[in-house]
A and B are shown apart, each in its own frame.
Chain A
């Protein structure tokens, strides 16, 4: 088959592109102006049981109990957070021992409890001063979660209100 096409046959009708481009630019302007990067939010998921006596408040799932014969009180690392009048973190106590609240000291102390193979702790109960600022609490929850992850354990945190008499 011999292909013979004249030049005039190659030229189709001319579609005006300029109005389409105008509209496309308008759409582009709209999307650029209304664009807002979605904030990157994360979350800490917890199963929080209703208020109970402190000995059984820890949010331990039943399968964990089956895996470990020790009672929940012995497997729970007790933590107390106290705040000053401004709501800042004033004192951190882990297993009745006062710990410096800076992240490095806290991480070191948590590792001492959670990485020790002889230590029975697989969950923690944090008693919190009601005056404590939420940001301070989240920094502590963050430190605990990271410590549990370093210890290759599922983070199991629960919290309770610190009463005036210290518990």
Chain B
């Protein structure tokens, strides 16, 4: 210190580039984050399959879909509740009625004789469940007029 004067120089780092990077990171995480999880049920462990086709976003939006989750015991998962086959049949019937109601409201031609519904059933079944349980759900859907099915699997990398 010369002359007895106290230096009051403040070191001010330039924070603007740092802020730029942080905002870019925030933007990245905001874009890739998935809040809704799109009907993924964590209780269902899907089987692996290498040739399963990835679902395209435009198909996902355009298609009328009904997602059915089946746990390892072969029960249909509805929220927190696991339904046995009898209760599951009632649920599927109710869903089919809602689809038919929607078709009538939209004035879409629907032939009650053939009874084919345009909705795709997305079947997410646990890999430990047996085929008999899955077939029970499929038959219940078929009896209500659902014909299009998509069996979900994890794509092996």
Verify if B129 is at the interface (C-beta below 8 Å from A): yes
Interface size bucket, B side?
35 or more
Cross-chain contact B48 with A138 (CB below 8 angstroms): yes
Set of chain B residues within 8 Å of A145, measured between Cβ atoms: 49, 51-52
CA distance A31 to B40 in the complex (A): 20
Q: Which of B47, B51, B128, B157 is the one whose CB lies under 8 Å from A40?
A: B157
Q: How many interface residues does A have (CB within 8 Å)?
A: 46
Which residues 27-54 of B sit at the A interface, judged by CB distance below 8 A? 29-30, 32-34, 37-38, 40, 46-54
Kindly provide the distance from the CB of B32 to the nearest chain A CB, expressed in whole angstroms.
Answer: 7
Set of chain B residues within 8 Å of A17, measured between Cβ atoms: 15-16, 19
Chain A: which residue is nearest B34 at the CB level? A38
Cross-chain contact B51 with A142 (CB below 8 angstroms): yes
Kindly provide the distance from the CB of B72 to the nearest chain A CB, expressed in whole angstroms.
Answer: 9
Verify if B154 is at the interface (C-beta below 8 Å from A): yes
Set of chain B residues within 8 Å of A31, measured between Cβ atoms: 25-26, 29-30, 33
Question: B83-91, B94-102, B103-111, B130-138: which one contacts chain A?
Answer: B130-138
Cross-chain contact A137 with B131 (CB below 8 angstroms): yes
Verify if B143 is at the interface (C-beta below 8 Å from A): yes
Kindly provide the distance from the CB of B98 to the nearest chain A CB, expressed in whole angstroms.
Answer: 20
Kindly provide the distance from the CB of B34 to the nearest chain A CB, expressed in whole angstroms.
Answer: 5
Set of chain B residues within 8 Å of A46, measured between Cβ atoms: 148-151
Set of chain A residues within 8 Å of B26, measured between Cβ atoms: 24, 27-28, 31
Cross-chain contact A130 with B130 (CB below 8 angstroms): yes
Which residues 20-40 of A sit at the B interface, judged by CB distance below 8 A? 20-21, 24-25, 27-28, 31-32, 34-36, 38-40
Query: Top 8 nearest A-B pairs by Cβ distance?
Result: A42-B52, A130-B132, A31-B29, A135-B127, A135-B47, A138-B47, A142-B49, A43-B150
14 further A-B contacts with Cβ under 8 Å, apart from A17-B19, A38-B34, are A20-B19, A21-B19, A35-B33, A41-B54, A41-B154, A42-B52, A42-B153, A43-B152, A43-B153, A45-B148, A49-B142, A134-B134, A135-B127, A141-B49
Chain A contacts to B: CB under 8 angstroms: 17-18, 20-21, 24-25, 27-28, 31-32, 34-36, 38-51, 87, 128-135, 137-139, 141-142, 145-146, 149, 159, 161
